Structure 1
């Protein structure tokens, strides 16, 4: 599904937007936010350092599910701010629960993550990073980190403007 919001195309796949099928305990919720670098201020989680602009939206866990098939949940955490994330207006962090119980950052940056059916090492899905424009980067897990793999728009190869 693609949504136009303030001139920005937001891309959410059905698997990303609708598959929040795991419920985190309050302790795991807090640990996931902390691993992603967020700090609890009152009842909300803040991470990017926005000074309180009108565009700010505090951190939210958008999706919790096992995205790589290892039996441990991953959480996609988003935060909104043009101050922090420019024209995209949204940032994300993907954190993964480790077998020992802690949480680890897997990927993050500016944009809207769209988990794809194609996969990298270890069953990790490729991630299309949506934002302004019509040619989005797709990152692939190489066993250690997500790295740029290609660019695409609506599933077709493209070249980003210079």
Structure 2
């Protein structure tokens, strides 16, 4: 049943907004730099760890185009982990190249399984919805320094009814 509900939520997301456009794939050096900037330390067998947590992590990276005139970004997805607050689906962070050519993390890890571009933007950065199971999608806006939560969107009628 939970999987069926998640599928319905994701189908609604596809119809309601557009996912960030894909950008060029990362080479091995860029991938290593992104993972390091995200605070992930390599371990044996292609796994990673994050400081203060012994759980094994297997990050998935997705390159995205952010906005015209802005360099590409990278979404770092992590499956459910005890390293973060309990989540049903996983966690995602956004990293982007800063003005000095280094990777920075304008959106630290938040619970979510999919990032959905919103029709609004601020300071040249798109507003982003971060979908997760449950029917309520938090929306984040860049404040000139980092992304901060500005509200939420119901993915179905009443989806945010009992959420702050």
Q: Is the contact between residue 116 and residue 125 of structure 1 (CA under 8 Å) also seen in structure 2?
A: yes
TM-score, length basis structure 1: 0.75
CA separation in 2, counterparts of 1:129 and 1:24?
A: 22
Change over 3 Å in CA distance of 1:45–1:72 after alignment to 2: farther
Secondary structure of the residue aligned to 2:30 is: helix
- Provide the aligned C-alpha RMSD in A: 2.9
Question: What is the deviation of 1:160?
Answer: 4.3
Q: Is the contact between residue 137 and residue 154 of structure 2 (CA under 8 Å) also seen in structure 1?
A: yes
Secondary structure of the residue aligned to 1:27 is: helix
Aligned residues: 152
Change over 3 Å in CA distance of 1:155–1:143 after alignment to 2: farther
Q: Is the contact between residue 116 and residue 131 of structure 2 (CA under 8 Å) also seen in structure 1?
A: no
CA separation in 1, counterparts of 2:27 and 2:70?
A: 16
For 1:90, the equivalent position in structure 2 comes to 90
CA separation in 1, counterparts of 2:73 and 2:38?
A: 12
Q: Does 1:28 align with 2:30?
A: yes
For 1:51, the equivalent position in structure 2 comes to 55
Question: What is the deviation of 1:50?
Answer: 5.0
Secondary structure of the residue aligned to 1:95 is: strand
Q: Does 1:15 align with 2:14?
A: no
For 2:116, the equivalent position in structure 1 comes to 115
- Name stretches of at least 5 consecutive residues in structure 2 with no aligned partner: none
Q: Is the contact between residue 96 and residue 104 of structure 1 (CA under 8 Å) also seen in structure 2?
A: yes
Question: What is the deviation of 1:112?
Answer: 2.4
Q: Deviations over 1:4-27 (max 9, x none)?
A: 6486567465534xx433122211
CA separation in 1, counterparts of 2:96 and 2:47?
A: 18
Change over 3 Å in CA distance of 1:44–1:127 after alignment to 2: same
Moved more, 126-135 or 152-161: 152-161
- Name stretches of at least 5 consecutive residues in structure 1 with no aligned partner: none
1:143-158 correspondence runs (5 A):
143-154=144-155
TM-score, length basis structure 2: 0.74
